[in-house]
Copies of this chain bind each other. A is one copy, B any other.
Amino acid sequence: MADTDDQNGAESAAKVRTLADLARIAGVSAGTVSRALAGNSLVNTKTREKIEAIAREHGFRPNQMASKLRRQKTGVIGVAIPLGHDVRQQISDTFFMTLLGYLADELTEKAYDLMLRRVIPARDEDWLDHFIGSGMIDGVIVIGQSDQFERIEDVADGYLPMVVWGNHQEGQRHCVVGSNNRLGGKLATERLIASGAKSLAFLGDTQPIEFAARYAGAKEVAAKMGVPIRALPTHLSPERTGEEIAQHLREIEGKVDGIFAATDTIAVTCLKELRERRMEVPGQIKIVGFDDLPISSQTMPPLTTVRQDIAAGAKGLVDLLLRRLEGEDTESLVLPPHLIVRETA
């Protein structure tokens, strides 16, 4: 029962934009309204209910900017996706996008909002400091180290609430969550060799640290088994990949019978080129991918690949970040990859 001293119909027209407005019409102080709406301390139940009713009636929501400013925390986690040289490349990368989806789920669950920022390190050297220093976020998750390993290391020294998806290196200083890429590379290569491949190739850019680790694992196994392996570099941008792969295929025809693709996306494209060149898979040439994206089970033949557990990765990222927000200096989390044997090797 609010005192409707308004003339007529003015009731619902009254704008309630601030706590003070609401306080006035409820006949209490702003402080009380704040407490009531926070559902927090010992506010008289009657008072609270009255305030809540009025708030609901007027569709009132407290201004978050003011609240965040005052409380010195934002309730927002920043998610940065650094793009490499090929600008358009990674933001639409299926793997990262899927990870982002799960991240959104996890963060929502923990009542955090997610601020997404696509960032081009080449265009803004201090992208990470800017994001962190913006005062807009409580912590940051970086998806992919790209070629920014050193910069991330530098920042990690002075900023605790940061977790990165990527590759783990002995002795690194930033907290990372990611698959054991080297092990993944080994699994893939072992499978290729076990399937009868006698001469291997790694298909994909070897610059990014994750890929380099996959290749390193592959080389290790290949060396141990006395099987030759070569790198066939590609660039991730989908438009160029097709022709690049076709080109490679032309060159290695008859010389290579086992391909380890850096990602499923590359593997799928390769599969298609192989088909167009009428090469039998896995008869003439075997292939193993990496990621286990949904498509890999849909190809013809279905792709043998190394699975990364994206959901577990997202969960790990968020868990570790929340602990860091509490001040804990968490360890990195390295997830085991799993070989998924289908029909291409």
Q: From residue A300, how far is it (CB to closest CB) to chain B in Å?
A: 4
Tell yes or no: A336 within 8 A of B by CB: no
The chain B residue sitting closest to A300, CB to CB, is B300
**Contact indicator B59/A133 (Cβ below 8 Å):** yes
A92 to B88, CA, bound (A): 20
- Residues of B near A65 (CB, < 8 A) are 65, 68-69, 74, 135-136
- Residues of B near A92 (CB, < 8 A) are 98, 101-102
A69 interface neighbour in B59, B69, B269, Cβ under 8 Å: B69
Tell yes or no: A113 within 8 A of B by CB: yes
**Contact indicator B64/A134 (Cβ below 8 Å):** yes
**Contact indicator A133/B300 (Cβ below 8 Å):** no
A268 to B100, CA, bound (A): 23
CB contact list, A131-158 vs B, under 8 A: 133-136
A62 to B268, CA, bound (A): 47
**Contact indicator B115/A76 (Cβ below 8 Å):** yes
**Contact indicator A117/B114 (Cβ below 8 Å):** yes
A249 to B134, CA, bound (A): 54
**Contact indicator B104/A118 (Cβ below 8 Å):** yes
- Residues of B near A59 (CB, < 8 A) are 129, 133
Of A30-38, A176-184, A291-299, the one contacting chain B is A291-299
CB contact list, A276-335 vs B, under 8 A: 294-295, 297-300
- Count the copies: 2
Tell yes or no: A246 within 8 A of B by CB: no
**Contact indicator A133/B61 (Cβ below 8 Å):** yes
A20 to B236, CA, bound (A): 47
Q: From residue A321, how far is it (CB to closest CB) to chain B in Å?
A: 16
CB contact list, A165-220 vs B, under 8 A: none
Other 11 A-B pairs with CB < 8 A, given A61-B135, A91-B104: A60-B133, A61-B134, A64-B135, A65-B135, A69-B69, A92-B98, A92-B102, A113-B117, A113-B136, A268-B295, A272-B298
A-B contact pairs, 14 of them (CB 8 A): A76-B115, A76-B136, A88-B105, A92-B98, A92-B102, A94-B97, A100-B116, A104-B116, A114-B116, A115-B115, A272-B297, A272-B298, A275-B300, A295-B298
Interface residues of chain A, those whose CB is within 8 Å of chain B, are: 59-66, 68-69, 74, 76, 81, 88, 91-92, 94, 97-98, 100-102, 104-105, 108, 113-118, 129-130, 133-136, 238, 268-269, 271-272, 275, 294-295, 297-300
